Structure 1
């Protein structure tokens, strides 16, 4: 049983059993631990970190049992996760009045930031190790040594649990019964391996065809699911199992050969490839023979990497650590069946005090992310936790795993090789880091100088517009932070103010910038303060103002006088006089709608009406709010800036309302319905960050559009236009374009930014086109609803496969009437 310690009123610790009773406990997902957060009542001291004095008192009362601890900063963020055999001893060692002289700068830096701690007591060190590893993976604390994001690595997944296994490259391990091999650092090299295996074993089949085969097999059916030869079969990239050209067992035998290769049996591949090559040459199929020759050379090249062999036949992982200042690199050499089969290197995040600490924190993270554990782990450092790690790995593998530091013999030779490789790799990285740091610093400094910026542009945002003949117009925002792409901060925009077929890059750019920059504009509260200084206050309408509101609406023919209730209104007052108002009409039977927006003439053009609408929207926590406006481009832009957009399928109640209005007012045009979706306007860290420089793809025209929007928003952000032709830079107030040296780092940085914005915009546009293309043909078939469409696409994969399917196969999902419609309209 785990026990948890809560902060007691007297500053001590009291014990509590774990119960999930809806209180303050926190659930740790994955292993089922629950722990309480210690709430600190901190008092400042004379030291640099005012929290250390109280933390000393608290750690002195910590239990002497094994467990894990979390150091937190004053905001409650977890800075470091650690485990201990004796929690009290470990915790007190951190907060001594005279820190250990051996304590590294990384931990000394940690001590300046800690303000609180959490403790979880476990039954054993092993339990603590597992919990620590999972927490580090989940929380990614700043001061822990971390494996770099495993999205950089790929695995080969073979779904051996299926009747017809599929071979694919993935970036995540799943507990789904499939076999995984890896991780591999290069996706290109991994694809090359699979291409070589295809040349030799001819194992590939169309993914959708395999899915249909597996569905059929699970229903007890077997045989072909594809009548006509596919394109892949015709060009030699399909083995034909979907057409019944080979049997299920023959297909599985080919997959078994692929599995054997990834387990290290390269000899079988060479034997098959050489025999097939000779056969192809005898049959005068020289292209095939040449492809097989390349496959043989590729596999033999892999064999040449096996520099060492070991008669023990053990599967061994050998780890060496090389340190560069406070950075660490870990080199792994893999032996399978006694042969050295591959190497991998890992640059670690964080700054470990020494090589042993780096290894101790790295190994559990690494072995939690790989599908296969070796018999032996060889290390070059004495690890305090070696017995514990060995026990944990043995439990995971289901048989003994030894961790050893060899003094002599074959394993020590492999370790020396790993250490030599690690040192060389660090040497290369140091040169790369130094060069990259110089290049980035140089690029940003050059930009600051040439553009006459007040500060170095640490955050640069690039913008581009993309469309296809006026359709699917989209915009992109890409971000470079400290000279490096910040992919997670990229944002895309689907243009809402242009009609299908309209081409207006300037207008599209203005919309993108307005929607982006509104996050940097003043808040509603800040705007209210400004208006208050002018004698204007905002608030809910009062009962006594009902008559005044009715009288104003009576005079304004364009405003609806239906269902006027003062409770629905937000008003702006100058003294006691109402100078503007708007209302939100919402009831169980009514679609939420903003109506009756009015501003006294002398205050128009000062964004008072926009403030009223924003104030109303701020009160709505979820759902959708609609507005009906005259079909006026200026009005559409007005509401688009606030966050409204066009509605593809408006609520029927609103459609009826606009039609009825048109019927009454014979000269009126049908109103346009816009919607504001609350969930689309949540806080966004990227959009809330102010850029130091905006880079617009284009020349003077695009730059003018950007300056117009910045002026409207009242924002002073440097902006330039980057023309494609001569890489000219257009800056505000400069008559002639600025030119950077063609080989300068600043020029390369701007080019990469512009190209990335272009790529990201095109990618977003293509995704939208693909999404529309999938459903478009089925959307035109009468009698086919959303659920039926989804079921058809899930079963057959595409519209083309639905067209090719037999009537019998289709009748399992559609009625005879629907089948006739499909045949007629597809």
Structure 2
């Protein structure tokens, strides 16, 4: 446990102006970001009696090894900078409202020549517009099925679209008039895009205008005695009305608002947000997060609820606006009204920040009466229900993770809980195509951005590589750079400001820690005593003594420790063993996935190995261009020569090799 007094700034050196501050640990990682109206008052509070702090705040200041700050001119700038730093550094002591990837949305690929409509789950992509989220995927498909009658846009995948373009016949939806069939040229690209844009306008809230336009066209067709067209337009109007009926009217026509509510307990907070556009609920989403427990945040914001509201507003709308900016529709994500259960202390500054994003005034307020208050109560009940369901799924997930880390520390007699665990696994087929995976868990959760693949160099002569040697190679490659950073620290003059770029393991261009520039607390290998001994020997050679090494054997789930003749046996129902199994299984899954892709690429290209004069670069170019050897086999000489670097003679040799018996 570090003493905060060791890195406390000298008295009088902290400015009194507003600003944003960062706490870093001994490895240079940013572990907490905060803002303050007065940096001096706020930071001095962290260096009071450590035992008077909230337990999580105490853990943060004793984990930290340095504090930095940036002075800004206004509190609005502080809001923006705090959001940017939280997004950039992902500090583990900050509450993060990550977008819930389980909620389905309706995606429209406006970045394609012929935009496509489809149900989607996952991270947002540039050039794609999203509607929702919706509670269920079937709700999207049901609504989409109704609207395709009026807006016959493409819903097929790229492969289906290309196939029907080649055969010159539309799919079933084209025959039943639920697709305008751009694949066969029934409509041009511009006409199809207009259909998609009308669809987007309808889902964006321009519903009454669309219905009135269709009704006007229906009456005009009837007056012209074009009763067939009038009947079709009548059915289109009915389809639009049925789609509108599925979206409950909760507020007055023309009302655009986001209604936010929270439910909390001692450890966690659940938040729900309803998106109301043109008086109708267009989407709903929710999160359950671990509370930061920072009493200083609460003191500055007024109450715990006010602190939660402030954190949520800055993170949610900051991320939504960043994604919307890619498509040029940033104003869409910020409505005219944001209704919250309690106003934070800097509500005026947050309202100004939201207004800048929207480009017009945004009202941030607490609903007091009428329909808006009733809707806010409904959202709050949803938040309470979400928190109750979360507890039922796994009682105290944060508690379980903390208990698992504590149990591992006790069972292995470690100096501290293993907040960062790395695990390596080897995958091969009888010694060939040997690969390894390295997965990372922090605070008991997978950190997939730090996952790594390794291609193992096979032993010369026999084309084989044993697991023990592979473990040693991966361990050496993983920790060699760490050892070099420690052996060659950057010299800093006593009177020089300790900027992030002047520390070992810090990227001088970004000021952020290089990935894997700091060690794990626990290094797990998939295997028994031989594999553990190999990893421990490499760490000894590199002079790394602060990393605990263990092995987890699959057969009996035994935990092996270097130098011990008997394994450590953990209870079968313990949270510690469950966490180690999850780490090991994730490493195995990641290794198997990489091994299969590598083996598939090798087997795909093997049929071209016998072609004289065709090197690896041109083999790769061929497979990349056609997608598979089977398609190359069916191609003509002219098609093959269209690949850069492939001549007529080489193309004929390729076809001869692939079509030979």
TM-score range, shorter chain: 0.5 to 0.7
In structure 2, C-alpha distance between the alignment counterparts of 1:170 and 1:69, rounded to whole Å: 35
Larger Rg: 1
- Look up the match of 1:361: 311
Q: Which runs of 5+ in 1 are unaligned?
A: 1-46, 214-223, 270-298, 526-613, 620-681, 697-702
- Look up the match of 1:649: none
- Look up the match of 1:772: 602
- Is the counterpart of residue 761 in structure 1 residue 591 in structure 2? yes
- Look up the match of 1:57: 12
Which of residues 86, 98, 120 is equivalent to 2:71?
A: 120
Deviations 1:374-421 (Å, cap 9, x if unpaired)? 221111112333333333333323333222212111111111112222
Deviations 1:357-376 (Å, cap 9, x if unpaired)? 22223212211222322221
Distance 1:469 1:480, change over 3 A: same
Which of residues 543, 546, 554 is equivalent to 1:722?
A: 554
TM-score by length of 1: 0.54
- Look up the match of 1:92: 41
Please show how residues 511-526 of structure 1 align to structure 2 within 5 Å: 511-518=469-476
Which 10-residue stretch deviates more, 333-342 or 385-394?
A: 385-394
Q: 3-state DSSP class of the match of 1:314?
A: coil
Q: 3-state DSSP class of the match of 2:259?
A: strand
Deviations 1:563-598 (Å, cap 9, x if unpaired)? xxxxxxxxxxxxxxxxxxxxxxxxxxxxxxxxxxxx
In structure 2, C-alpha distance between the alignment counterparts of 1:783 and 1:230, rounded to whole Å: 43
Distance 1:403 1:410, change over 3 A: same
Q: 3-state DSSP class of the match of 2:5?
A: coil
In structure 1, C-alpha distance between the alignment counterparts of 2:172 and 2:460, rounded to whole Å: 40
Q: 3-state DSSP class of the match of 1:389?
A: helix
- Look up the match of 1:421: 382
- Look up the match of 1:351: 293
Deviations 1:198-220 (Å, cap 9, x if unpaired)? 7966833342676x89xxxxxxx
In structure 1, C-alpha distance between the alignment counterparts of 2:409 and 2:12, rounded to whole Å: 50
In structure 2, C-alpha distance between the alignment counterparts of 1:446 and 1:50, rounded to whole Å: 30
Q: Is the 8 A contact 2:116 2:153 kept in 1?
A: no
In structure 2, C-alpha distance between the alignment counterparts of 1:482 and 1:422, rounded to whole Å: 25
Q: Is the 8 A contact 2:425 2:525 kept in 1?
A: no
How many Å apart are 1:441 and its aligned residue? 6.8
- Look up the match of 2:263: 322
Distance 1:307 1:152, change over 3 A: closer
- Look up the match of 2:516: 685
TM-score by length of 2: 0.65
- Is the counterpart of residue 494 in structure 1 residue 441 in structure 2? no
- Is the counterpart of residue 390 in structure 1 residue 390 in structure 2? no
- Look up the match of 2:435: 474
Q: 3-state DSSP class of the match of 2:260?
A: strand
In structure 2, C-alpha distance between the alignment counterparts of 1:775 and 1:129, rounded to whole Å: 53
Please show how residues 651-690 of structure 1 align to structure 2 within 5 Å: 685=516, 688-689=519-520
- The structure with higher relative contact order (CA 8 Å, sep 6+) is 2
Q: Which runs of 5+ in 2 are unaligned?
A: 212-240, 299-303, 325-332, 489-512, 541-547
Please show how residues 76-87 of structure 1 align to structure 2 within 5 Å: 78=30, 80-83=32-35
How many Å apart are 1:315 and its aligned residue? 2.1
Deviations 1:758-783 (Å, cap 9, x if unpaired)? 32222011221344356556676666
Q: 3-state DSSP class of the match of 1:369?
A: helix
- Matched length: 560
In structure 2, C-alpha distance between the alignment counterparts of 1:420 and 1:524, rounded to whole Å: 50
Distance 1:139 1:401, change over 3 A: same
- Look up the match of 2:283: 342
Distance 1:489 1:264, change over 3 A: same
Q: 3-state DSSP class of the match of 2:466?
A: helix
Q: 3-state DSSP class of the match of 1:381?
A: coil
- Is the counterpart of residue 193 in structure 1 residue 140 in structure 2? yes
Deviations 1:114-163 (Å, cap 9, x if unpaired)? 855433334x5444433332233223345544333777777654232543
Distance 1:103 1:131, change over 3 A: same
In structure 2, C-alpha distance between the alignment counterparts of 1:393 and 1:114, rounded to whole Å: 35
Please show how residues 62-461 of structure 1 align to structure 2 within 5 Å: 62=15, 68=20, 70=22, 78=30, 80-83=32-35, 89-95=38-44, 116-122=67-73, 124-141=74-91, 144-148=94-98, 156-167=106-117, 169=120, 171-173=122-124, 176-182=126-132, 189=136, 193=140, 197=144, 203-207=154-158, 226-227=166-167, 241-244=182-185, 248=189, 251-252=192-193, 255-256=196-197, 259=200, 263=204, 309-325=250-266, 327-348=268-289, 350-351=292-293, 353=298, 354-370=304-320, 371=324, 372-430=333-391, 434-436=395-397, 453-454=412-413, 458=418
Distance 1:182 1:135, change over 3 A: farther
Q: Is the 8 A contact 1:71 1:78 kept in 2?
A: yes
Q: Is the 8 A contact 2:34 2:82 kept in 1?
A: yes
How many Å apart are 1:709 and its aligned residue? 3.1
Distance 1:477 1:155, change over 3 A: same
